[in-house]
Amino acid sequence: MAVGSSAIIFAVVGLCYNYSTLIVDYSIKLEEIGKEADFTKFYVMFYRMSAICAVLYVLLLVTGVQLIRKKCNWAFVLLAVVVLEIIYVLAIGWLWAHSPNAASIAAASGISTGGLMYQVYVAFPIWGPSLTLWARRRMLVPVMVPDLKAT
């Protein structure tokens, strides 16, 4: 239940963060620094990254609700969501180095993926799935209690 509650909190905070970044107009700031780098694809990359993050937050929210409901098999869904988040962050890093739109991707990733950093601050990708898989195993394996009447 603790991991499910944490997942819900991280999902709601991430969605709120994403919403707050989507309603801001970045065009003035881009015009100020646009002379130094090419930010022509900023909005395209920003909206794509925000959409990916929103999908990950919704998946995390649904998973958290199911974990609170003590649905054991959702531990694997949580693991999959965390793995997808890690792959996403690594892919963004790779695109920074290898894409012709690296400046736009770098600028957009700082804004759109900030909601994922709350999970990183508390190491949720490490302890969340680990604790959930451990709890799932404990729930499915019966505990052997010695029979005291037989002795």
Provide the 10 A C-beta neighbour count for residue 111. 19
Residue 4 scores a pLDDT above 90: no
Q: What residue numbers bound the domain in which 100 lies? A: 2-136
Has residue 146 been placed in a domain? no
**pLDDT tens readout for residues 90-116:** 999 999 888 888 888 888 888 888 888
Q: Nearest 5 degrees, angle CA 113-CA 117-CA 120?
A: 140
Q: What is the pLDDT of residues 45-83, one digit of tens each?
A: 888 999 999 999 999 999 999 989 988 888 899 999 999
Q: For the chain, how many structural domains are there in total?
A: 1
Question: Is 0.85 surpassed by the pTM of this model?
Answer: no
Structural domain contains residue 147: no
